[in-house]
Structure 1
Amino acid sequence: MSINNDDITPSKDNEIREPMYGMSINENPKERNPNSSNKLLGVFYGIGMNVNTIIGSGIVTTPGIIWNLVKSPIVVLLLWFVGGIVSMAGSLSYVELGVIHKISGGETKYLQTAYPQPRIMMSYLFSFMHIFAIRPGIISAVLQSAAQYFWYTLKEHQYDDGIDINTNGWKLPFTPFWYVKLLAIAFLLIITAYHMFNTRWAIYINQTLAVIKLITYSIIAIAGIYRLFADWPTSRTNWQNSLNGNSDITAYSASILLITFSYDGWNSLNYSLDEFRKPEKKLIFSNSISVGIVILVYLLINIAFISVVPAEAILDNDKSSYETIAVVFFYKLFGQSPVTVRIFTALVVLSVIGTAATGIWSLFGVHLLSYSLEVIRYRNKGNLKKEKNDKELNEKSDRSSKIEYEVSLFFVGIFILAGLFILIFSFMVHVECPNYNPNCSLREKRIEQMSPMLISYGFLIIALLFYLFYYCLDTLKRQREAKIIRIADK
């Protein structure tokens, strides 16, 4: 890893700026660890890591929901393609950021550099939200899907059979609804445990889960395409007819948000750039190829689901069959062999767990950078030898400031517009009451749908309060130390 100005913490109050992770300015990383070159990532490993992170529970839970919302299979494919283009635009934009800042940490580092004032507040808020809200929320949703499929693998029926899904979860009996929640928690504990105990084994396990995932989803895509052409008179029914019902703008906005969730992870390589071999040359290939592969896989899997799963299963709003669409898919393909269906649902469980595992792994980069910023700031405190080092660092900054990759403004524009869309339409949720429940309140259901977002804003307020507390505390300490220095000088 070459050291440049982006690997340096900002100089302040005559402090020496030093490289992150305790490496001296002129230190060769190979001298520090002779075997470090064996740990650097190349293009193919980067592609595999990105694909493993992106392809997760979304592709086996959201296709049925989106099909139920927008009704038209052609529109479903179009929305998935648009979501892929947005993800590609974001991925290419992050290539430029990764080339400029050749250091792990992702957005934490970028926000620290772009908004150093007031006192890296933006970087702190993002790190807090990412560690305590964003990534845990995504991992929880992924493991909930894994638990649903695991329940079917064990019991051969969906966990909500006999349950009115419009009932508030807190009012449901403990079994089986809360059993599924406990299964998700158990998966989380297992994944966390093997990441804590042995890093090498964690890498092996995650790579194995990635292989299982690719094999499982390849089988789904190939089997679905084969069924489409082998049984064309039956398969074409779903393609020629839209589902009954109407769709409004909230249905489309909800669908796009779900698709965005399914493509989450396209920026995962930016969290581990320290281990990447020549990111200025390799990152563009890893990001673009991996996202392109995911777009193709997602389109093929949606074609497979639409070709095999009957429309009646998607229209049944009183069940969550459209949330576990892969179960219906396997049942239609291998209905005469329940054991085969269980085997494939178990493979889906392992695939989804693999996605959660990579999510936990990516948290390490943000944790490490957030911790390192504090360690280095206190380690450098009070050091007055600055002139020679600052001059040397400025020279290095000038040499390394040349941008070796610049993303097209077209992709940047797409990425920005997508962000604005998410910001606006997150407040527009699709709610409807079943005809058999006259006591259903649209207002209550809307609040239930918006509760994750409201919780996120609550975490943001907490993060801001913590920042203000530490900012004021640090300011008081600096004032007290300055007063002591003035007294000592007198």
Structure 2
Amino acid sequence: MDGSQPGDIPLRVQRARVSGASQASIQSLDEDVAEALDAPLERRLGLWSGMAIVMGSIIGSGIFSTPSLILGSVGSVGMSILVWVIGAVVSICGCAAYMELGTMLPRSGGEKAYLEAAFPWPRELMSFVFCLASIFVCWPTGLAADAVVTGSYLLYAATGTSEGHPAWAERMVGVGVAVLCALAHACFSRWAIRVQNVLTVVKALLLVLVVLVGLSQLGRGQLGHDVFAGTSRSANGYATALFKVFFAYSGYTALNYAVDELKDPARTLPRAAMGGLAATALLYVMSNVAYFIVLDADEVRGAGTTVAGVFFTRVLGAAWGQRVVPVLIASATLGNVMCGSFAASRVIFAAARDGYVPLGGLWGSVSRRFGTPVWALAAGGLLTSLYIVVPPPGQAYALLIDMGGYPFWLFSGLAIAGLLRMRRTHGELLRPFRAWMPANCLSLAAAVFMCAVPFVRPGKDDGAAQEGAAPYWAAPVVGVAFVAASCCLWYVRALLIDRIEYRKQINEDQI
């Protein structure tokens, strides 16, 4: 026996065997399957393409749509800006840890590869649960939120207002965005990367425009008054706000999922990731300052997820602010979905090749025609579309962010703990990049905070308590329930049915 499971064999091979096809034809099909499963991905990403993917993955709907939600959670303008600064510092520390992991274990798959190496027992439990959480919760919820915001800004440009749109309209636009991005990466990979690079430039220039326009309006808005008046004292409110901030900063690990496609990964990975994150963090903080220079706190709260549209309408007038700039913002969030679709498909691709999902031979194959993981991209697009259309309208955007953020922080904390563990257990491994220990400790503390505090009940008068109809505990409970269910599934498949093939026994020689 070749060790493959029935779910790992594409349907065309199974049908050929059942229909009594000749042994030669079946052998030819089996060779095609083996070639597709073993085919490597081309190393086509250099420094600038890597930076474009990182900045493109980071800059998305968060900076254009979450400031009103963050202000509602923390209560004051000054604290709203401060949490963006805190988010920048924590993200840079986390990025440093991931750069050490990525250069020490230069494999595609991100946390999957790191958890697999750091916690080899129970065998592949950590990597299995991470893959399921990433595939079914973390990535599709974030991409769904970005795709919906793309629809919101396109409708804002079409109608000149952020209110009164049918809920189904922006969702249908979002589904179209998700499908378009998956199709572009599947069939036109080189052009998709070029478009990502162009849209990344557009996004960066758009944030520069926000900063310049805001600075030109000094003296207006809320800045200059008591910027910390009304600051919330709710720990849950700050956790809620930080989930939004970290959602806006998320994406700096995008290249860790595609290390096999980087040219000279030991040099390219840390330079591209740290450079892209640092530039984006500066633009984020200055953009929030610009928002509050032009708009007061009530205007920001009332803008909902179209803060940037209201900002440009106030400064540039209806023609530019309501028609032209929202299209540019929509293109920025579209670019974010493109970059996220690329990274998410690589997680599905890596998980499928290790037998973590059914029909692994399908999702883990590389198209001989296009040289891309077509079916992994299709799966990612389908899951994103489901999260766009299934949640109820209203506060779906905020709920999607929180649902995807909780498992992310759980596994991010485990990955950094694994890094510290491997420094002790695998000190002989080459580390082209080494993160500063205080930065690792700060990242780990942030992960513990983000996992624990969402369960703290907010005060009755806190903005966090009134942010939406969903209970404060809904998002973390969903995250914990999914992780627990994934652990049970691992037990059933690995120990009772024995369907998972443990091809990777972690030891010093293989690491």
More deviation in 214-223 or 458-467? 458-467
Instruction: Could you tell me which runs of 5 or more consecutive residues in structure 1 were left unpaired when the two chains were aligned.
Output: 1-19, 24-31, 162-174, 380-397, 435-441, 479-490
Does residue 202 in structure 1 map to residue 185 in structure 2? no
Tell me the equivalent position of 1:240. Answer: 225
C-alpha distance in 1 between matches for 2:430 and 2:202: 41
**RMSD between aligned residues:** 3.2
Q: CA deviation at 1:244?
A: 6.5
Distance 1:346 1:465, change over 3 A: same
SS in 2 for 1:404: coil
CA contact (8 A) 1:152 1:345 kept: yes
C-alpha distance in 2 between matches for 1:306 and 1:197: 43
Distance 1:69 1:463, change over 3 A: closer
- Aligned AA (1:350): S
Q: Deviations over 1:147-186 (max 9, x none)?
A: 2212211111113x4xxxxxxxxxxxxx612322232222
Distance 1:364 1:314, change over 3 A: closer
C-alpha distance in 2 between matches for 1:53 and 1:477: 32
1:332 to 303, 314, 326: 314
Q: CA deviation at 1:58?
A: 0.6
C-alpha distance in 2 between matches for 1:428 and 1:260: 19
Tell me the equivalent position of 1:227. Answer: 217
Tell me the equivalent position of 2:354. Answer: 373
More deviation in 193-202 or 124-133? 193-202
1:427 to 447, 455, 460: 455
C-alpha distance in 1 between matches for 2:73 and 2:467: 20
Tell me the equivalent position of 2:433. Answer: 405
- Aligned AA (1:271): Y
Aligned-residue sequence identity (percent) comes to 23
- Aligned AA (1:325): V
SS in 1 for 2:169: helix
2:329 to 348, 351, 354: 348
Q: CA deviation at 1:454?
A: 3.1
Q: Give the TM-score normalised by structure 1.
A: 0.73
Which of 1 and 2 has greater Rg?
Answer: 1
Does residue 69 in structure 1 map to residue 73 in structure 2? yes
C-alpha distance in 2 between matches for 1:415 and 1:76: 21
Q: Give the TM-score normalised by structure 2.
A: 0.70
CA contact (8 A) 1:238 1:311 kept: no
- Aligned AA (1:59): I
- The size of the alignment, in residue pairs, is 397
Distance 1:476 1:367, change over 3 A: closer
SS in 2 for 1:272: helix
Q: Deviations over 1:286-326 (max 9, x none)?
A: 2222221111100110111011113331354xxxx143211
Distance 1:181 1:329, change over 3 A: same
Q: Deviations over 1:232-279 (max 9, x none)?
A: 3x35x5332348645222332222221111111111111111122332
C-alpha distance in 1 between matches for 2:499 and 2:156: 58
Q: CA deviation at 1:104?
A: 0.8
Does residue 107 in structure 1 map to residue 111 in structure 2? yes
Q: CA deviation at 1:62?
A: 1.5
C-alpha distance in 1 between matches for 2:60 and 2:491: 37
C-alpha distance in 1 between matches for 2:440 and 2:255: 19
- Aligned AA (1:346): V
Distance 1:196 1:292, change over 3 A: same
Distance 1:399 1:85, change over 3 A: closer
Q: CA deviation at 1:341?
A: 2.7
Q: CA deviation at 1:222?
A: 1.5
Does residue 87 in structure 1 map to residue 96 in structure 2? no
Instruction: Could you tell me which runs of 5 or more consecutive residues in structure 2 were left unpaired when the two chains were aligned.
Output: 1-35, 362-425, 502-511
Q: CA deviation at 1:347?
A: 0.6
C-alpha distance in 1 between matches for 2:231 and 2:267: 48
C-alpha distance in 2 between matches for 1:476 and 1:144: 37
Does residue 184 in structure 1 map to residue 169 in structure 2? no
Tell me the equivalent position of 1:307. Answer: 293
More deviation in 70-79 or 261-270? 70-79
Tell me the equivalent position of 1:323. Answer: 305
CA contact (8 A) 1:429 1:446 kept: no
CA contact (8 A) 2:152 2:170 kept: yes
CA contact (8 A) 1:111 1:122 kept: yes
SS in 1 for 2:161: coil
Q: CA deviation at 1:21?
A: 7.1
SS in 2 for 1:299: helix
CA contact (8 A) 1:431 1:446 kept: no
Distance 1:195 1:358, change over 3 A: same
CA contact (8 A) 2:71 2:301 kept: no
Tell me the equivalent position of 2:55. Answer: 51
